[in-house]
């Protein structure tokens, strides 16, 4: 069996053309030379056909020969174009990655500047650190750090999901189905402009890319279009649709200006969708006003709202954006999705046109479209002048003939071909790189561990400010939570991880209750008020259920605080969680008592100062720092040399004034440097033992969905801000 492709056909035609061209050759050598010359041209992507010269012979053989040459040239041209297209695609991907890298670095610098401004404007001038997850560089994936609240290990695949386009963290994805493409390859839907304001109001069709480009996940191709008007578009919509189709306050949500467009995504079959991702491609931000859907193709089926301006859930309200945005919502079964957006920004541009070209163009469109369609959905300001002519063209011709008897009628009626004119238009630009519809399934737990954040100063207190998104489940309950822990060591133990509550949070919602033995589940923070306990996201009636017992810690006072919950008849197949109000102080981590001792050794090397890894914590006691000088010049065991600490604890910067010229070694500590009154010889060893507070730390965040249902639901973390008081 012989398989044909373009290469075999091309080679066959080349042989045929060579045989025809060389048929009149005198010798085989001449024929071979012609063949080699032709083949070398083809390999070099050089066109082999040329314009005829002299007398033209018209016969079947010559025509076939020319056609074969042209066919070879076409194959060569298409091959070159394909190579160019592939190269451009590669360059686009490469340059896009470079641009994204540069943007991420710029954003990191902006975050650092914001942190500096915040620190300088505060009266106490605390250290300030911002983590907005610009890249994955801040993640620490060391396996020994991937532990649960009670020191058990998370599965390695439970590391949180990083959404690099929107720079945020979610629960790890178990599965993500693309509803627009089967196996991410074959399109299973088509997209059309269901309504487009301004379309059809100009004779010339606006330049635009293929709208089908929206249905892939690539940024190398896109859909983008412009709407031109004579002045700013002001819109007032007229109710011409059946009332059953209207949602909220109006079908178009009181939009009063801008270029309005609604896209319809029509699936081949009914699909399950729980996330819509939109990546705009436009010069200025657009407003995503509403997202609605239908379950069937029935035109009379009312639209169901997913996203609209007055939605109670902030994440499902209208968005004003130029960058990628995603909407997560409970599972829906849909056949059609409608995306309503408006571009309110415009550019005022001046265009140059020729009257003759406009006249010829109008003749073409008048003959092609004898009846101009009327758009009834909206009234536009301005209305275009060419649609408000009250007199016929013959009336205009007659008037011009009477007034200009001795002038060129053609130049008067249709304009002079040399008479180029200017016109001002308002350009509204919008489009999308891609639109994606997903069916997501998230895991129930995930974690994030930061790299060490090194301040170089003693840390007294830490406060957290976080930007989180928690949506309600299908029963309108909050069942997601993010737990935060901070540790001040490179390899922390379970006891080193200290819980902290973000600022502004006065009520903990849906904290997981983990049984650790004896049916006890310990709370992360002590509390005086437990609001409710939930089982699989459903509140338990605590007045009727006597299996739930709250335990108090009365070791410090008779009143005590609740610290644990005992669950009798614990159902190990269920997920228990609790809502409560933690006691005051849970949102500040006090590290002032977390003193550590470090020992560092240096060779003398005739130096008068030595830099320590941490800054000693200086107080009124004498044991915060001790220095041992050992002279190794006389014996291997060394001789200890007397040294005296003259540090001024109240004001370390003036400690040098306490030096005494009695020949002894003296030192003082300033910040993380220890200074001596004279050089330390090369054969001396300097051993420094000092106490210090934590100067660096790392953060662990545990993401949870405390229910075995609602697999679409995930907590979202956009940023963490650290407000740090240092010593």
One domain, residues 521 and 631: no
DSSP characters for 546-609? TTEEEEEE-SS-SS-EEEEEEETT--TTS-EEEEEEEPTTTT-EE-TT--EEEEEEEE-TTEEE
240-to-161, 235, 696 alpha-carbon distances in Å:
46, 15, 65
Q: What is the pLDDT of residues 209-246, one digit of tens each?
A: 788 888 887 777 889 888 888 888 887 765 544 343 34
Kindly state whether residues 244 and 261 are assigned to the same domain.
yes
- How far apart are alpha carbons 75 and 97 in whole angstroms? 33
Q: Write the DSSP symbol of residue 314.
A: G
- Write down the pLDDT at residue 687: 94
Question: What residues form DSSP beta bridges with 673?
Answer: 611, 670
* Overall number of domains in the chain: 5
**Between helices 28-43 and 6-21, what is the axis angle to 10°?**
140
Q: What element of type H or E holds 36?
A: helix 28-43
Rounded to an integer, what distance in angstroms lies between the CA atom of residue 251 and that of residue 239? Answer: 9
Q: Is residue 150 part of a domain?
A: no
For residue 120, give Cα distances in angstroms to 126, 160, 553, 720.
Answer: 8, 34, 42, 19
Stretches where the chain sits below pLDDT 70 are 1-7, 9-10, 13-14, 17-18, 20-26, 51-59, 61, 85, 89, 92-93, 96, 121-125, 198-208, 237-250, 353, 356-419, 553-559, 620-622
Residue 365 lies in a domain: yes
Please check whether residue 248 lies inside any domain of the structure. yes
337 plus 352 within the same structural domain: no
pLDDT for the residue 557: 56
CA distances from 258 to 71, 193, 255, 280, 529 (A): 50, 16, 8, 16, 51
Nearest by Cα to 548 from 577, 528, 511, 525 = 577
- Residues 453 and 551 occupy one common structural domain: yes
What pLDDT is stored for residue 418 in this prediction?
65
* Full domain range(s) for residue 605: 596-692
If asked whether residues 488 and 383 sit together in one domain, one would say no
Full-model pTM: 0.73
Q: CB atoms < 10 A from the CB of 30, how many?
A: 12
**Could you tell me if residue 153 is inside a domain?**
no
Whole-angstrom distance, CA of residue 335 vs CA of residue 303:
11
Are 473 and 600 part of one and the same domain? no
Asked whether the bond before 204 is cis by omega within 30 degrees of 0, the reply is no
Are 368 and 323 members of one domain?
no
On whether both 551 and 601 belong to a single domain, the answer is no
Eight-state DSSP code of residue 468: E
* 716/569 same-domain check: yes
| 576, 456: one domain | yes
- Final residue before a domain boundary, out of 439, 465, 500: 439
Is there a contact between 550 and 540 (Cβ–Cβ < 8 Å)? Answer: no
Residue 163 lies in a domain: no
CB 478 within 8 A of CB 470: yes
User: Are residue 232 and residue 354 in the same domain, yes or no?
Assistant: no
Cβ–Cβ < 8 Å for 634, 689: no
Tell me, yes or no, whether 580 lies in a domain: yes
The answer to whether residues 434 and 313 belong to one domain is: yes
Q: Is residue 160 part of a domain?
A: no
List of residues 6+ apart from 400 with CB closer than 8 A: 409, 412, 413
Residue 705 near residue 479, CB atoms below 8 Å:
yes
How many secondary structure helices (H) and strands (E) does the chain include? 6, 39
Q: State the Cα–Cα distance between residues 387 and 693, nearest whole angstrom.
A: 79
Q: Do β-strands 607-611 and 673-680 pair in parallel, antiparallel, or remain unpaired?
A: antiparallel
Q: Is 538 within a domain?
A: yes
């Amino acid at each position: 069996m012989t398989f044909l492709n373009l290469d075999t056909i091309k080679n066959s035609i080349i042989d045929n053309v060579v045989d025809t061209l060389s048929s009149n050759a005198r010798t085989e050598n001449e024929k071979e030379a012609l063949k080699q010359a032709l083949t070398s041209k083809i390999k070099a992507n050089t066109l082999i056909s040329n314009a005829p010269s002299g007398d033209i012979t018209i016969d079947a053989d010559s025509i076939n020969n020319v056609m074969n040459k042209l066919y070879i040239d076409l194959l060569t041209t298409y091959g070159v174009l394909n190579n160019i297209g592939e190269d451009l695609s590669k360059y686009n991907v490469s340059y896009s990655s470079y641009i994204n890298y540069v943007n991420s670095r710029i954003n990191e610098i902006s975050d650092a500047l914001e942190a500096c401004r915040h620190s300088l404007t505060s009266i106490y001038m605390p250290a300030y650190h911002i983590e907005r997850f610009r890249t994955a560089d801040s993640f620490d994936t060391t396996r020994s750090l991937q532990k649960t609240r009670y020191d058990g290990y998370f599965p390695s695949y439970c590391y949180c999901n990083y959404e690099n386009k929107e720079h945020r963290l979610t629960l790890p994805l178990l599965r993500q189905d693309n509803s627009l493409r089967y196996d991410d390859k074959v399109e299973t839907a088509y997209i059309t402009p269901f309504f487009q304001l301004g379309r059809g109001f100009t004779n010339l069709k606006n330049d635009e890319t293929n709208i089908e480009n929206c249905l892939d996940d690539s940024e190398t191709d896109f859909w983008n279009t412009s709407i031109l008007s004579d002045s700013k578009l002001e819109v007032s919509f007229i109710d011409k649709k059946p009332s059953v189709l209207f949602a909220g306050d109006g079908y178009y949500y009181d939009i009063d200006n801008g270029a309005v467009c609604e896209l319809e995504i029509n699936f081949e079959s009914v699909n399950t969708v729980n996330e819509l991702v939109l990546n705009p491609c436009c010069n200025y931000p657009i407003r995503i006003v509403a997202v609605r859907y239908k379950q069937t193709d029935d035109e009379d089926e009312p639209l169901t709202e997913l996203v609209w301006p007055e939605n109670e859930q902030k994440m499902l309200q209208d968005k004003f954006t130029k960058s990628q945005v995603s909407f997560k919502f409970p599972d829906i079964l849909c056949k059609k999705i409608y995306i309503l957006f408006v571009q309110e920004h415009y550019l005022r541009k001046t265009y140059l046109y020729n009257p003759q070209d406009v006249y010829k163009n109008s003749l073409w469109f008048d003959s092609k479209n004898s009846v101009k369609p009327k758009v009834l959905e909206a009234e536009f300001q301005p209305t275009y002048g060419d649609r408000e002519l009250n007199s016929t063209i013959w009336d205009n011709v007659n008037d011009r003939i009477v007034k200009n008897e001795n002038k060129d009628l053609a130049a008067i009626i249709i304009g002079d071909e040399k008479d180029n004119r200017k016109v001002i238009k308002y350009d509204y630009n919008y489009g999308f790189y891609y639109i994606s519809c997903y069916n997501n399934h998230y895991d129930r737990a995930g974690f994030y561990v930061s790299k060490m954040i090194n301040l170089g100063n003693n840390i007294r207190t830490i406060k957290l400010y976080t930007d989180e998104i928690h949506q309600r489940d299908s029963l309108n309950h909050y069942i997601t939570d993010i737990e935060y822990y901070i540790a001040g060591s490179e390899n922390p133990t379970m006891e080193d991880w200290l819980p902290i509550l973000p600022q502004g949070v006065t009520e903990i919602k849906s904290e997981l209750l983990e049984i650790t033995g004896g049916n006890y589940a310990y709370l992360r923070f002590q509390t005086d008020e437990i609001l409710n306990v939930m089982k699989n996201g459903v509140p338990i009636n605590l007045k009727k259920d006597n299996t739930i017992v709250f335990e108090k810690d009365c070791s410090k006072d008779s009143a005590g605080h609740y610290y644990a919950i005992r669950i009798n008849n614990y159902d190990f197949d269920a997920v228990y969680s609790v809502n409560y109000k933690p006691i005051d102080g849970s949102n500040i981590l006090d590290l002032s008592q977390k003193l550590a001792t470090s020992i560092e050794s240096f060779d003398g090397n005739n130096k008068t100062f030595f830099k320590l890894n941490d800054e000693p914590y200086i107080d009124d006691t004498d044991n915060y720092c001790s220095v041992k000088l050992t002279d190794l010049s006389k014996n291997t065991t060394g001789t200890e040399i007397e040294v005296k600490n003259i540090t001024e604890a109240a004001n370390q910067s003036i400690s040098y004034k306490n030096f005494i010229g009695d020949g002894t070694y003296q030192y003082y500590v300033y910040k993380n440097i220890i200074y001596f009154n004279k050089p330390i010889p090369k054969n001396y060893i300097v051993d420094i033992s000092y106490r210090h507070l934590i100067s660096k730390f790392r953060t662990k965040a545990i993401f949870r969905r405390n229910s075995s249902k609602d697999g679409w639901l995930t907590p979202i973390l956009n940023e963490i801000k650290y407000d740090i008081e240092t010593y």
